[in-house]
């Protein structure tokens, strides 16, 4: 077997990215197996959470090595590589050096620096992720920027949803932009949902609704966020097809992240025709420069003003230019990177 991908899979975005990488490598002619970490039990701190996931990734890697004897290994995330049983390439959206400040990364950061210097190949999702990595990781020739592919989710009529699904009341039989705004808040405070909610309640009109995906009302409550009935619909965590169907119905995707490690949800929203309203944020926020280029009025700290501009005065060719800007992130573009660069860097073929 050519490539073993050790998949941390701690979020839906990571799971989707790993599946895309496996498919791209297969289309390039490699044989691939995903070794998925078994989710550990919940623990109270980020430092302990990373340790539990690193141990789970180590167990998955050891099982995959024993069963398949791969030629090359790709660890998906720096956390997956921390306790590796054998060196391999490391693919990451952001290093702990950036997203685990202070006590949250007290043990991870030093070990991460060692792993990034030992890895034969680094596969950051973006140039921004590479810039956040330690100096040893940025030595010329050690890294290949390998984005996560982003494609439109579909066109044409939307099929009615399963009546037993939590999102069934949101289904339509025609692809119209009947949802004013949507946001994705799988980590409500990191994603800045409190700031989105404040802006929405200030500027919404009586016939407008904000759809909130990725978290349940109970999860929002545990984050200290209380909701009113003022134009808010909470969908919870939806299957990808149902979530993307909502994106195709939404006019605006709005977010205010306190830090953004990539912005996959924002890129998917752009691919499905939404206008992106966002605040600037630290981190390798790949969607941020695209949003600024498409309409700088919609990027700024005054989220309420940007929301009203997007809803009341949208740029006419926004969606067309967004589609063109996403071409370098298309599946075909990533497949070309796999064929022309990745296989040889993994010493496959």
pTM of the full structure = 0.91
Instruction: Could you list the beta-strand ranges (E) of the chain.
Output: 3-7, 32-36, 72-76, 89-92, 122-124, 179-184, 210-213, 232-236, 250-255, 275-278
Averaged confidence pLDDT in the chain: 92
**Mean of pLDDT values over 158-166:** 40
pLDDT above 50 for 159: no
- Here the CATH number for the domain that contains residue 230 is 3.40.50.2000
Which residue range(s) make up the domain with 178? 168-328
Structural domain contains residue 155: no
Number of H helices, E strands in the chain: 15, 10
- What is the token pair recorded at 55? 């141990």
Asked, for residue 39, whether it belongs to a domain, the answer is: yes
Q: Give the pLDDT confidence of 234-256 residue by residue, as tens digits.
A: 999 999 999 999 999 999 999 99
Q: Are residues 97 and 214 in the same domain?
A: no
Residues 6+ apart with CB under 8 A from 321: 294
Per-residue pLDDT, 230: 77
175-209 residue pLDDT tens: 589 999 999 999 999 999 999 999 999 999 999 99
| Position 136 pLDDT exceeds 80 | no
Do 304 and 315 contact (CB within 8 A), yes or no? no
pLDDT at 168 over 70: no
Could you tell me which residues come within 8 angstroms of residue 10 by beta carbon, excluding any fewer than 6 positions away? 37, 39, 53, 77, 79
| Both tokens assigned to 57 | 């990734």
Q: By three-state DSSP, how is residue 198 classified?
A: helix
Question: Does residue 125 carry a pLDDT above 60?
Answer: yes
Statement to judge: residues 176 and 317 lie in one domain: yes
User: In terms of domains, do 226 and 263 share one?
Assistant: yes
* 43 pLDDT higher than 50: yes
In this predicted model, what pLDDT tens digit does every residue of 67-111 receive, in sequence order?
999 999 999 999 999 999 999 999 999 998 888 888 888 999 999
């Amino acid at each position: 077997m050519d490539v073993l991908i050790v998949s941390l899979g701690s979020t839906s975005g990571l799971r989707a990215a790993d599946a895309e990488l496996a498919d791209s490598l297969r289309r390039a002619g490699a044989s691939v197996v995903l070794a998925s970490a078994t989710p550990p039990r919940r623990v109270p701190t980020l430092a302990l959470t990373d340790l539990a996931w690193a141990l789970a990734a180590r167990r998955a890697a050891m099982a995959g090595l024993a069963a398949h004897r791969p030629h090359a290994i790709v660890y998906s995330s720096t956390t997956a590589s921390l306790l590796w049983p054998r060196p391999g390439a490391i693919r990451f959206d952001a290093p702990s050096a950036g997203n685990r400040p202070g006590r949250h990364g007290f043990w991870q950061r030093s070990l991460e620096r060692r792993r990034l210097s030992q890895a034969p190949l680094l596969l950051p999702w973006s140039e921004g992720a590479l810039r956040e990595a330690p100096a040893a990781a940025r030595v010329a020739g050690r890294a290949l920027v390998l984005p996560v592919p982003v494609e439109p989710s579909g066109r044409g009529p939307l099929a009615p949803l399963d009546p037993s699904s939590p999102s069934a009341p949101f289904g339509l039989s025609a692809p119209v932009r009947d949802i004013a705004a949507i946001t994705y808040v799988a980590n409500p405070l990191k994603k800045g949902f409190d700031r989105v909610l404040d802006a929405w309640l200030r500027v919404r009109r009586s016939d407008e609704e904000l759809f909130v995906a990725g978290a349940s009302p109970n999860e929002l409550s545990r984050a200290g966020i209380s909701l009113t009935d003022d134009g808010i619909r909470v969908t919870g965590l939806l299957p990808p097809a149902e979530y993307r169907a909502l994106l195709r119905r939404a006019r605006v995707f709005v977010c205010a992240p306190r830090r953004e490690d990539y912005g996959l949800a924002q890129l998917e929203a752009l691919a499905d025709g939404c206008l992106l309203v966002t605040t600037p944020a630290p981190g390798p926020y790949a969607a941020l420069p695209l949003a600024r280029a498409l309409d700088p009025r919609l990027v700024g700290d005054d989220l309420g003003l940007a929301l009203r501009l997007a809803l009341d005065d949208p740029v006419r060719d926004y969606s067309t230019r967004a589609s063109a800007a996403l071409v370098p992130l298309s599946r075909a573009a990533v497949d070309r990177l796999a064929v022309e660069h990745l296989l040889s860097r993994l010493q496959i073929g």
